Structure 1
């Protein structure tokens, strides 16, 4: 599903959200309405078709049910205001606020031409680290990394990040980010993204012994689920991830680069339909 910042019609956004949830598993307009607190089982379907509108209160209910948080939630409210506006002045004000929110919380989606970004942990780490150390040399940056990397590699990484548009070079050793957040495009080659997940998982395993408990946080739970619970948990993890990014973006006095891995995977085969006789 596209980023919410690409939408100018909240009716279409609701339809695309429904289609995406439907694609992932069992989901219905009735369930969507129930999650949002509506008694009518087809109200949101009518909204998506443009046959009904969302009030401010209803927009809040819908945003919560979709897991929108922080700036995405605020953008959604303005998207609704823009679509419901009954005069040019109100519509223009909502549109300008939508633009402001989108610009303040830029999100860069990695496309096929920039897949090198996912080839190694060095690219996302240096993209975050370089702006924190204005004037630093590649050697300085290398020495701050927990994993070994040479100054020559750092120099190559910086060249790529600037060329691909992930960083902007402002001066000698001074870099700024062109967008606050980087996310992987669903259209990007999954092999590259899988490689990044594997590399980060290995680094996480090493972190268990490398850092003390007050320097890292690990938690986990083993549980039984069905397909519906699985899909709902996935949506909760996505919402949590968005909230974490929003919290990080609220600050400007950064002093460290960290990584969070959200992992949810099967430990057994599905047993539905299988019979066991004693």
Structure 2
């Protein structure tokens, strides 16, 4: 009997594995329904204290949000531990944040809550890779001069320069992500690995990356002369239907630049190419809101 109960608990969704609270609620409900024959949306609503028997179903479908009060009710309904409830509260705040800065703050809190988790699908190194402009740059510089540069020398090669401590941190992140390694002689070399994350973290990380890089592009106007940089812009009119075609052309251009870079030999600098396309004016759209229940 104990072995059977242990097997059931092993299948129980672990909230620390999730970065989307709706997915966790969906999986948790499916688990409870599979292990308790009487479990249903009506049963859960009654145990949690919701007046609407299908409230959780509406939340899972994205038609309702969770308020702080309803989070505690959901935790009670599923019998979550205090730590699981704390994680759920933070996860809800991150998913329902109104801007990137709020999402970033709550994601950092989630990372601290994950420290004690047995299973972690996402590592802090992935977050650090995208959230610090110098980490991808150090990956490129590390293999210069036969891969024998010291962290201090790498730091001084960057423009703007960083500290030796930051360079050492960047190397640690890159090694953990299997993006670089040292050979038997201690020389740094690249590895053909790709950094991938879940959609939620990818969104956070990419936003952080652009927040780091775009100001550097603005500073480059003053920091470099025209022969060392290229800064240009277009203001266009485009229909909403044609926007995907515009984005495809941008993707094709990026791929062309990458292929050119791969074929280069005897490189002596790292160049950042920022490409942005965003609305300056558009027709008003009516957005449907979603209500909460407390």
CA distance in 2, matches of 1:236, 1:185: 25
Q: 1:197 aligns with which of 210, 220, 228?
A: 210
In structure 2, do the counterparts of structure 1 residues 251 and 185 end up closer, same or farther at CA, with 3 Å as the change threshold? farther
1:179 maps to what in 2?
192
CA distance in 1, matches of 2:229, 2:134: 20
Is the CA contact (8 Å cut-off) linking 1:136 and 1:173 kept in structure 2?
no
Where in structure 2 are the equivalents of 1:16-165 lying within 5 Å? 112-113=122-123, 114-133=126-145, 134-165=147-178
CA distance in 1, matches of 2:175, 2:282: 45
2:181 maps to what in 1?
168
2:268 maps to what in 1?
255
SS, match of residue 214 in structure 1 = helix
- The CA deviation at 1:148 is 3.2
Q: 1:244 aligns with which of 257, 269, 275?
A: 257
- The CA deviation at 1:199 is 0.9
SS, match of residue 231 in structure 2 = coil
Larger Rg: 2
Question: How many correspondences in the alignment?
Answer: 162
In structure 2, do the counterparts of structure 1 residues 252 and 188 end up closer, same or farther at CA, with 3 Å as the change threshold? farther
TM-score if structure 1 supplies the norm length?
A: 0.54
Superposed CA RMSD in Å reads 2.3
